[in-house]
Copies of this chain bind each other. A is one copy, B any other.
């Protein structure tokens, strides 16, 4: 039993079931991120934890005591919303202390708590402004302040950064990370940005269509995705997915793919158990950063395979250069150093890190375990 237990929880709107038997147990101090495409039920689940939506069946418990039917304000949780949901008619200070006021905290204590939080978030000079007079980043801070001041058992965040521009998003991400490290509070965080998910979380739950597809550490999710959905959802640019045939050569299993010209190319698997699939079709997944120029390839890898192929497009993006090529009839993207000497149309020796390759069963779309 964990700190926050979601057991067998289902949610229906009328006849439509939007969450199906969700089971997640969160330990105290964990940072759980819920990711998934739009409409998969992330917000619904969060709202159920908060008590803003009823539970159709199953149970949600905090510290072992059931929360079903308990009023949101009695759950000792705090929530930060995507649009921040700052009360537009109140000053920043009033926004922060409103929750305390509602819980009957006396004024001096409220003031003190507000001062402390404002100092922590460096928004002391904004306390008398109205939300309308704040920039996006400042609003975000105030929303955090409102949550922090309550000193809750659990923080819930619903896409708190998605309204910020890219630069600010990175900064605020770091702040949230620091906050978690400093306070050690349990956090459940919804996003559909997988970089956020990867960098912030201690564990990630990848959701799709109301099901939890995989629950695990960022590394597990990234390196050993449970299925094709998780594999392609996490990572940007997405993992390259291509049909391949398993063939045996030199006593080892190889993935046979075709290059831009249709010539068959073989890449040796690092996993010996792929031999079991010999002669059968699989789906091969290779992340863009595992296909590079030989100079950029990971020196630690035990299994760098060379693959000669024609370059279609190169996209220099400053820090890296993305190279598009054709593998098994589809586009595949390779990520290379910014300075990699590669031109469109060129025949190039790609270095493929097969330690990082994963294989999926084409029928179930699940990953074939190593």
**Which residues of A line the B interface, CB within 8 A?**
37-38, 165-167, 170, 174, 177-178, 181, 192-195, 198-199, 218-219, 222, 233-238, 287-289, 295-296, 298-300, 313, 315-320, 322, 324, 335, 337-339
Contact = CB atoms under 8 A, between A and B. Distances in A.
A324 B181 CA distance: 14
A194 B219 contact: no
A86 to B, nearest CB: 20
A165 B38 contact: yes
A59 B174 CA distance: 45
Given A166-B195, A194-B318, A296-B298, 4 more contacts: A166-B193, A174-B324, A177-B313, A199-B316
Given A166-B193, A236-B167, A339-B298, A218 B316 contact: yes
Copies assembled: 2
A310 to B, nearest CB: 16
Given A165-B38, A166-B236, A192-B165, A318 B177 contact: no
Given A166-B236, A167-B236, A318-B222, A289 B338 contact: yes
A234 B318 contact: yes
Contacts of A193: 166
B295 A198 contact: no
Contacts of A313: 174, 177-178, 181
A295 B298 CA distance: 7
Contact of A166 (B167, B192, B295, B337): B192
B289 A300 contact: no
21 contacts: A37-B167, A38-B165, A166-B192, A166-B194, A166-B195, A167-B238, A170-B238, A177-B315, A181-B313, A198-B317, A199-B315, A218-B317, A219-B318, A222-B318, A222-B319, A288-B319, A289-B320, A295-B300, A296-B299, A298-B337, A300-B337
A180 B319 CA distance: 23
A234 B295 CA distance: 25
